[in-house]
Amino acid sequence: MQLYNTLSAKEREKLIEEAGKDRLTISFYQYAHIGNPKIFRNHLFIHWNELDVLGRIYVANEGINAQLSVPAENFEAFKKHLDSISFLENVRLNIAIEQDNKSFLKLKVKVRHKIVADGLNDDTFDVTNKGIHVGAEKFNELIEDPETVLVDMRNHYESEIGHFKNAVTPDVDTFRDSLDIIENNLAEHKEDKKLVMYCTGGIRCEKASAYYKHKGFKNVYQLEGGIIEYARQVKDRNLENKFLGKNFVFDHRRGERISEDVISNCHQCGKPCDTHVNCANEACHLLFIQCKECAEAMDDCCSLECKETHALPYEEQKSLRKGKKASNKIFKKGRSEVLKYKK
């Protein structure tokens, strides 16, 4: 019974190129009681591996959080398998606006304590007492209301390249950090203001809305399906798009464009840019924004030190890393003193 990947990312990438077939990038989540996450994890891996599903899936006692890629020709079989699982039947699937056949190159199904690292003690409040879910049209109405406070529940590097007009964008590194900041800033408006929240696909707002209702906020709303579903509804229904820039995504694409606005800048030269990259130095991998000119001049690295290291023979780079704690900063804080124009 195969419960692990047998191909490297490079081998998988080559197979995808040779196949020349379209893949769909999809995300979904569902809170549900899973008695034995390990058995459920193995069940998913066995079935999805047969369908050539690739992605990053977290399973916990509280549910599932999945970001994945599936061959378009296998989508119906994949959906049929989802529907065969009672709590995943007809679950909403967020399908990416911009498709990339190489968005994921391995199938990773991991058992975690929680499907989102929220740092909350769920025993202290009712996680099922959530805010009101609204679609794109109602959301657009709400955020034009002067009695609304619109809050971005994502991290700083996500909102830096794209956010809704007039949104509060906390300068935080983690979801948990934003909860207290928002509560403190809006402490005087728990009863008279409408608290409207959004995130990438909706999962962070599920827990946040219940948390804020527990904290005394009377009018709590959340964007159904997050930015991904909002963009789909705006396009399908010809609604006004109130999102500026790109939506950061947690796969190899790193972002999908929602509007033509470029609201961020290259962290090395300061020119308008919203392309996230990872430092090419294997010992760094810092996530930052880099324009094409700086990428060429810096050899895809974040600093001169990393550029010098990256230029060394591969075996010498490996020897320098040997015995040192891995410093993999992919999709993490993206902050560094070497980034001169990081806001």
Which residues are known catalytic residues? 199
- Please state, in angstroms and rounded to a whole number, the distance separating the CA atoms of residues 61 and 59: 7
Q: Of 150, 146, 121, 142, nearest to 210 (Cα)? A: 121
- Could you count the other beta carbons within 10 Å of the beta carbon of residue 87? 12
Burial per residue of 56-65, b for 16 or more beta-carbon CB atoms within 10 angstroms, e otherwise: bbbbbbbbbb
Interacting residues of 317 by C-beta distance below 8 A, sequence separation 6+: 281, 282, 283, 309, 310
- Please state, in angstroms and rounded to a whole number, the distance separating the CA atoms of residues 332 and 287: 7
* Unique residue bearing structure tokens 């809305």: 209
End-to-end CA distance of the chain: 49
